[in-house]
Amino acid sequence: MSILVNRENYVIVQGITGREGSYYTLEMMQYGTNIVAGVTPGKGGDWIHGKPVFDSVIAAVDATGANTSVIFVSAPTAPDAIYEAIDAGIGLIICVTEGIPIMEMMRIREYLKQTSTRLIGPNCPGVLTPGDANIGIIPGYISKAGSVGVVSRSGTLMYEAVHALTNANMGQSSIVGIGGDPILGTSFVDVLMLLEDDPETEKVVLIGEIGGRGEAEAAEFIKARMTKPVFGYIAGQTAPPGVLMGHAGAIIVDEKSTARAKVAALRAAGVRMADNPQELPELMRY
């Protein structure tokens, strides 16, 4: 069993004819992901990597039965791409695009509440179920199948942690990058709920960073609901207030958004915290 992604995801790639869309489509296909089509307005009728290209999401869904979309379009067109996928009945949308304005994402999040669609991202690396399916830009070779669930705001830190786990022979059940923007479609708590209910997941790794309240909300959920052991790492412990640290959401605006406050909250919830991602495997042995 897996959360969110497996071989039953019939995936379309919005922006498949672009440079990144084309490159990662081939990467996903080589991993074994069930890519069924692409969507690029004006390119309908074309083929790329042996997959048909459609002018619209609804046309792709009607022809292929797609239930999942991964978005590789530019920031100005990404909101419309998300709305189009929602209106076409896509159940899972993974938006890799970064730079979507906060106000646009606030509107999208409100729109999502009226539907059954789940959005991962934006500005996220995607979702990987090792040995099963990889949707997004996560390098599949760093992972191996196992029982550790991983959820992270940062793609790079997630890659480092997953690689360390794999080298320590600690395979992963599901790997989810929720994205680093201030407004996200899926939160830490949303993913923790899924991992808590997943019989294939025995331990959980949470990787956070400065900015926002996502990690504090995760700490509250872990303390109240989680029965599985959780291990964590928070980046940005030396970050000065008011300075953007990579992600749009990684900025300290008050004391609660500092790395120190988040580490304290997670520790109070029973999470065993590492000082860097490389320490996680050793921490998890005991």
Q: Which residues contact 286 (CB under 8 A, 6 or more apart)?
A: none
Set 51, 203, 247, 262: catalytic member: 247
| 93, 118 Cβ separation under 8 angstroms | yes
| 227, 171 Cβ separation under 8 angstroms | no
Q: Strands (DSSP E) along the chain, which ranges?
A: 11-14, 35-39, 47-48, 51-54, 68-71, 92-95, 118-120, 126-129, 133-136, 145-152, 172-177, 203-209, 230-235, 272-273
Q: Which residues pair with 134 in a beta bridge?
A: 128
Active site residue 247: yes
Interatomic CA distance for residues 198 and 14, integer angstroms: 29
| 59, 43 Cβ separation under 8 angstroms | no
The residues carrying an active-site annotation are 247
